[in-house]
Amino acid sequence: MKRIGILTSGGDCQGLNSAIRGVAKALYEHFGADLEIYGIKNGYHGLINGVYRKMEPIDFSGLLIRGGTILGTSRQPFKTMQDKDKDGVTKVEKMKKNYKKMKLDCLVVLGGNGTHKTANLLSEEGLNVIGLPKTIDNDLWGTDMTFGFYSALNVATDVIDRIHTTATSHSRVFIVEIMGHKVGWLTLYAGIAGGADVILLPEIPYDIDSVNRELAKRASIGKSFSIIAVAEGAISKEEAAMSKKEFKKHRAKMKQPSIAYRVADELRDKHPNEIRVCVPGHFQRGGSPCPYDRVLTTRIGTSAAQLIAKKKYGYMIALKDNEIVPVPLKDVAGKLKVVTPDCNEVVTARQMGICFGD
């Protein structure tokens, strides 16, 4: 009997359920009745506390278009994994204990950077682990694309598209804040796809005077409105020169609720047009996965099942040059895939006249 555990960890996104479905259906196809799948509730929290249930084939029906995760999820910071409780037991030790209690042959984890750091830790502790790359941020090292990214991109682009009509009607400057944590992939893609005039990213620190000059230039040639796409992690050139401690202290003093509102305040005294802010927030990670993510998660899920059948563990399933390939967890853990100023997308945007505030 083959016994497989599955959990989803970190922030949710579109495609988690379809990835779970891909793994399960391919496993059932290969092992038939000689298979038991255990759904572990709420990410690593469920593995730590032994909260799980045996699942049946019917549980994986209807998941292809369903958003969120049927298993639930939670954030368990990697830095606390070796912390001991009052009995002197670490979270890692608890996870190993419950893995053995379930008599698992493999643990399949769906998640982003933090999830895969813990997955690699468990692999190094001797557990059989396979990772699946999910995050709307597309910042996982070792894969060209994470599932959830294109679905979130569709939402973010739609927001910018719709902002265009009201911005044009009222001759306003609209600042749209896009999710992405510490990287700018989602903002970069949405900004290009949505026709933003200015894109501000964490990887390219901005100068507010440069942004204002771009707005003034547009106004001088008769452009009555402007769209600024701002990554939630965008930073100014002054902030980029700060130490980590100085930056944290500086941001703690920020009066505005987020970076988009700060940029708006910085521009109001310098630009005659009315300035408005739009923060779509968690809309970007909700709802059904787009067709691209449905295909990608199916490919990734079935590839995970093939590795399990071959007893090849310690890998993350990645997309490389449109091929699904295994990448060692140790090569992924702790690394961040960031936007580089000379990447093709940034170069293309600059050639179109898009300003990055630098």
| Residues 12 and 124 both lie in one domain | yes
Say how far residue 340 (Cα) sits from the centre of its chain: 18
Give me the DSSP letters along 175-186.
Answer: EEEE--TT--HH
Tally of structural domains, the chain: 2
pLDDT digits (tens, 9 = 90+) for 224-277: 899 999 999 999 999 999 998 998 888 988 899 999 999 999 998 777 788 999
| Residues 20 and 110 both lie in one domain | yes
| Residues 274 and 172 both lie in one domain | yes
| Residues 136 and 260 both lie in one domain | no
Q: CA-CA distance, 231 to 227, in Å (whole number)?
A: 13
| Residues 94 and 158 both lie in one domain | no
Domain annotation covers residue 340: no
* Max intra-chain CA distance, the chain: 72
- Residue 86 maps to which CATH number? 3.40.50.450
Domain annotation covers residue 130: yes
Pairing status of strand 52-55 against strand 35-40: antiparallel
> In the prediction, which pLDDT does 222 show?
87
Distances (CA, A) of 19 to 113, 124, 240, 275, 301: 17, 25, 38, 41, 5
State the average pLDDT for the chain.
94
pLDDT digits (tens, 9 = 90+) for 29-79: 999 999 999 999 999 999 999 999 999 999 999 999 999 999 999 988 888
What is the model's pTM? 0.94
Domain annotation covers residue 216: yes
Q: CA-CA distance, 77 to 111, in Å (whole number)?
A: 13
Domain annotation covers residue 272: yes
For the chain, what is the total number of helices (H) and then of strands (E)?
A: 13, 11
> In the prediction, which pLDDT does 272 show?
79
| Residues 171 and 210 both lie in one domain | yes
Q: Read off the pLDDT band of 12 (50, 70, 90).
A: very high
Known catalytic residues? 137
> In the prediction, which pLDDT does 273 show?
80
Domain end call among 230, 251, 285? 285
| Residues 110 and 71 both lie in one domain | yes
Domain annotation covers residue 178: yes
Say how far residue 307 (Cα) sits from the centre of its chain: 24
| Residues 64 and 175 both lie in one domain | no
pLDDT digits (tens, 9 = 90+) for 56-70: 999 999 999 999 999
* Structural domain that includes position 82: 2-147+289-332
| Residues 103 and 124 both lie in one domain | yes
